[in-house]
Structure formats: C-alpha cells, structure tokens
Structure 1
Amino acid sequence: MPTNTPPRLSLALALSLAATAAWAQSATPAASAQPAPTRAAADTLGVGLLVTSEWRPYRGVGNVTQAFPVLQYENAWLDIWGPVADLKLHDEGPLLAVLRARYIDTGYDAGDSPALTGMQDRKNSVWLGTKLQWRTPVAHLSAEWLADGSRRSKGQQLNLKVETLLNAGPVRIVPRVGLQWLDTKYVNYYYGVSAAEARTGRAAYQGKSALNPEIGARFLYNITPSQSTFVDVSATALGSSIKRSPIVEHAWVPAVRLGYVYGF
C-alpha cells in the first residue's frame, strides 16, 4: 500500500541516496553509451524487486512509496523490464527501434486527499507506442511516443532524452536530461477539474498541453556477476498548464527508485 511521508523527509531521502551513490519513467536497463552489437542470440532472464518513492503533485497527496516484483527478459526480438515491454523492430549498430507497451502509474483516487474529495478517480493506463534510440560513443539520444492504450485519457505523450555513461570505480553512473510533452487530453484528464467536480476553493479548470523538463541520474553496481542493483534519482519540473490546476500543489516532482535483479 502507498505510504505518505513529509516533504522534507522525501527530499532528504533523495539527496542522501544521490550523495551515497556519488535507479532509473523510469526504471529501465542500464545505458552503455556505446554502439550496440547485432542481436544477441542467447536469452537472458532475471527477477527482482523495484521500490519507488515519488512525490505526487496533487494537493495533500505528498510522497507515495511502493514496492513491486519485476521480471527481466530479453531475446533477439523481445525486451521486458518491469512495467515496460518492447518488441524490437531493429537493434543493430547505433540504431534501436521498438514497439513499446508501458504501464504508467499517474492516476489518483478521490480518497487520497481531502483536497480531491468530490473528484472522479483518475485511472492508471497502459500506454502503447514506439521508441527510437540513436547510440553513439558519447551519448544515447532517444524519442518515445506513446498513446493511451487503455483509453482513460485518450491522450498522447512524447518523451525526448539524452543520457551518457560515466564510470566511478565499480559504479556506473548514467546522467540524463529529458523533455516530456503532454497533449491537452492528457493534461485535462489527470489535472483538469470538470464543472461537476468544482467546489468552493476548487474552480473548474481545463488545461492545455504542457512541457515538463527532467533531470536525473542512475547509479548501477554489480554485486556479483548474477546480481545487480541500481539507484535512480530524478526531478521533473511541471509545465505551467499543470501548475495552474487547482488540484496541483507542487511545481517540482522528485523521485527515487531502487532496484535489485538476480539474473539466471
């Protein structure tokens, strides 16, 4: 079950983990910052645990901490890691192209906060789309387009990201910067207030599309050849159309993710 912690404790946890490590929209396998080889013939399989601690932007909701079991599996055509499943269309040389399905936990229940009383629940969704990645010796550049496959919001999103690889002894560090575009339907579903939901102190609100910049870093460490761990810290700045919503309280959304995987 989600648990709430005070804002200062959440920020202190994020800063502490970042300093100690000196995981991953989003927990994904490590980037290598090197051109990829041709398709691997052997299958890889792993199981593990993912713990996420994210600061939700909604009024009165605060920090939400959750734990999930994860499955990691990859062969020449399929790549599964936790909430993300990719069907590889091309994975040779510097270019990766996949069809993607991703489960994203962005919704809320009206009972999560007194400030949301009278709102209709906003449901999580499975998003479907594609991702293109260009891998160079210096950095990886990627573009991910997704549409709401569950038809909750009927929205779309586009995620652009640049990440690179640094080595600090046995620890691999993958810093990144990103930019997320959310269309009007997405913003209205998750951050809008309909006329029927309006209350004293909560006016009806209909937002427009938004741009959310993100910075983050992933710290990876192999305990043994078959066991690996990671810590990922990030902060996302919400676009003005989201920040103006009467149900939104925070302009920045920090997150910490920790993961452990045992490979077979």
Structure 2
Amino acid sequence: MRMLLSPVSIIKVPYIRKVFAAMFAVTLVLPATVKAEEDPEKSSASWGVGIGAKSSQKAYTGIDRENEALPLIQFENQYIRLFGPNVALKLPGFEVNEANKIDFSLIGKYDSSGYEDNDADILEGMSDRKSSFWAGAKVEWQNDLADVSLEWVHDISGHSKGQSVSLGLERTWQINEYVMLTPRFAATWQDSKYVDYYFGVRKSEVLANRGFYEGKSGINTEVGLRGIYKFDNHHSVFADAEVTQLSSEIKDSPLVDRSTQNNLTFGYVYRF
C-alpha cells in the first residue's frame, strides 16, 4: 500500500491546486461539448430539501458526544450531485456491458474532525484544530454484486495539509416499494500530516498527563448501514449508522482512550 501511495505523498500542494483548477474548468465546459445519453432520468434534474440530526462520538479522552442539526439540500442532474456537505462534479463514464458501469467524478466535502481546547480536559491548553474542506477525485464501479469505489482527497483548506485514500464497497437492497437498505465497508489510509494534526501533541503542548506525540500514517476501517423509507415520491426519511475502527497510529496518541468512533444520522427529505 505504501509503495503505491508514495508518489501521491510527494505532490506539492500548489501543483495539486493548479491541477484541480484545470480539471474543474474542463468539467464546467463538458456540458457544452459532451452529448448526454438519451435517458430521461439522467437528463432531468431532481431537487430535495430537508432537515437532519447527527450524533457523533469522537475518540478523544473524556470528550462528550456531539449532537447537531443539519439542514439538507439535495440536487442532481447529469453533471452534478449535491447532498449535505458533499458535492460531486460528474465526468464522462462508460459501460463495459449492461451489468458493469464505471463513473468518474471530482468531489468536494466538509470534514468536521476539528476540536477546541475546551471540548475535553485532555485537550486543555492544546491549540485548536480546525475542521477542513477537502477536494479530490473518485472512481466508482457499479456491477451486479456491489458498488466499488476508490477515492482520493486532499485538505484544500490548508489546515492539516493532509490527504487520504479510501477503498469502499457497498450494496443496496430494495426490500419492498418503500424500504431500501445499504450496508457498506471502507478502508481509509490517512497520511502522517492528517494524523499528526488531529491526534499529535506538539512540544509546546506537552503536560504531565500528555506526552509528545508525532502522528504517522495509518489505515482506518469503517462499517455502516443506511436505511431509507419512502412514503411516496416526495416524502422520505433515512437513518445512517457507522462505526470506525481506528488505526494503531491514532490509538497510540495520548489524546485518545478508545479504539473506535461512531456517527448516527437521521433525517427527513422532501423531493420536488
């Protein structure tokens, strides 16, 4: 894994930003140069609005569970997909055959991994770590067995200057006309800059109960389950639960006293 990722790790941030600026420009031109497939579902746009609630338990010692309300906006056409804090600009894909399709996209997301020094006693006196905006690229392979995805993102906010690579697997079952269930699994490699920023302890932050720690790259694993109940074509509710098994490089941090963290999300969406 490290040998495969090492070329990515040496790319300079200014170069990455120039590449993404060019890629986004190309994507904005695509609608005028690429003819859409004659598929009504792909050529039409869908809108949705709603409200959600998220409950998160981070791994820091003594930190309280965080609960927050989330306004939800959903939009999708053949060029863009938006839901909550995630956006994807769709690039041209192709079909290998009727059962195998490969899609490419440029993605952006907001990651709320940051903390303030008053969030827990173990963090008192630490410099605040800020949440970040991330951007990158994603490829998805849809087939009869499952949907497989490979994603690379970089912290474009410049806070951690980190990057990560995720390999995901999920499948959706249509239980009946009302209920859909989607279990998923993912393995995510996070580089040393990311781990050190959020779980490291700088020399200026060392205390008797908090030793110096320099984070190293590691791999987290995640399992999750999403369920959707559609009352009709307009009204639906959803629930999503996920548990992340943290890498040993994170668990070794003096700021952490648990091996997992988890998120629960609930919401209602009205589709126009």
Instruction: Sort the TM-score into its range (normalised by shorter chain).
Output: 0.7 to 0.9
Q: What are structure 1's unaligned runs of at least 5 residues?
A: 1-35
Structure 1 residue ranges, 4+ long, deviating more than 3 angstroms after superposition: 36-39
TM-score normalised to structure 2 length: 0.81
Q: Report the counterpart of residue 146 of structure 1 in structure 2.
A: 153
> Aligned partner of 1:263: which letter?
R
> Aligned partner of 1:221: which letter?
Y
Q: CA deviation at 1:74?
A: 1.0
The more displaced of 82-91 and 193-202 is: 82-91
Select 2:58's aligned residue among 46, 56, 76: 56
The DSSP-based 3-state class of the residue aligned with 1:111 is coil
CA distance, structure 2, for counterparts of residue 98 and residue 240 of structure 1: 31
CA distance, structure 1, for counterparts of residue 92 and residue 250 of structure 2: 36
The DSSP-based 3-state class of the residue aligned with 2:224 is strand
> Aligned partner of 2:136: which letter?
G
The answer to whether the Cα contact below 8 Å between 2:110 and 2:132 also exists between their aligned partners in 1 is yes
Q: Against the structure 1 CA distance between its residues 48 and 37, is the aligned structure 2 distance closer, same or farther, given a 3 Å change threshold? A: farther
> Aligned partner of 2:111: which letter?
I
Q: Report the counterpart of residue 21 of structure 1 in structure 2.
A: none
> Aligned partner of 2:219: which letter?
L
The answer to whether the Cα contact below 8 Å between 1:97 and 1:132 also exists between their aligned partners in 2 is yes
- Of Structure 1 and Structure 2, the greater helix share is in 2
Q: CA deviation at 1:167?
A: 3.1
User: RMSD of aligned C-alpha atoms?
Assistant: 1.6
Q: Does 2:113 correspond to 1:106?
A: yes
CA distance, structure 2, for counterparts of residue 252 and residue 173 of structure 1: 23
The answer to whether the Cα contact below 8 Å between 1:107 and 1:124 also exists between their aligned partners in 2 is yes
> Within 5 Å, which residues of 2 pair with 1:9-88?
40-88=42-90
The answer to whether the Cα contact below 8 Å between 2:112 and 2:132 also exists between their aligned partners in 1 is yes
> Aligned partner of 1:121: which letter?
D
TM-score normalised to structure 1 length: 0.83
Q: Report the counterpart of residue 163 of structure 2 in structure 1.
A: 156
Q: Does 2:130 correspond to 1:123?
A: yes
> Aligned partner of 2:128: which letter?
D
CA distance, structure 1, for counterparts of residue 38 and residue 90 of structure 2: 14
> Aligned partner of 2:162: which letter?
G
Render the CA deviation track for 1:135-186: whole Å, top value 9, x for unaligned. Answer: 0122100011000010000000111110012233332111111101100000
Q: What are structure 2's unaligned runs of at least 5 residues?
A: 1-36, 96-100
> Aligned partner of 2:165: which letter?
L
CA distance, structure 2, for counterparts of residue 146 and residue 184 of structure 1: 14
CA distance, structure 1, for counterparts of residue 267 and residue 166 of structure 2: 23
Q: Report the counterpart of residue 194 of structure 1 in structure 2.
A: 202
Q: CA deviation at 1:37?
A: 9.2
CA distance, structure 2, for counterparts of residue 92 and residue 45 of structure 1: 25
Q: Report the counterpart of residue 241 of structure 1 in structure 2.
A: 249
Select 2:259's aligned residue among 242, 251, 254: 251
CA distance, structure 2, for counterparts of residue 213 and residue 157 of structure 1: 13
Q: Report the counterpart of residue 135 of structure 1 in structure 2.
A: 142
The DSSP-based 3-state class of the residue aligned with 1:224 is coil
Number of matched pairs: 229
The more displaced of 185-194 and 71-80 is: 71-80
CA distance, structure 2, for counterparts of residue 124 and residue 101 of structure 1: 14
CA distance, structure 1, for counterparts of residue 102 and residue 59 of structure 2: 35
The answer to whether the Cα contact below 8 Å between 1:37 and 1:92 also exists between their aligned partners in 2 is no
Q: CA deviation at 1:254?
A: 2.0
> Aligned partner of 2:147: which letter?
H
CA distance, structure 2, for counterparts of residue 215 and residue 114 of structure 1: 29
Render the CA deviation track for 1:60-87: whole Å, top value 9, x for unaligned. Answer: 1131111110111111211111101111
Q: Report the counterpart of residue 12 of structure 1 in structure 2.
A: none
Q: Report the counterpart of residue 5 of structure 1 in structure 2.
A: none
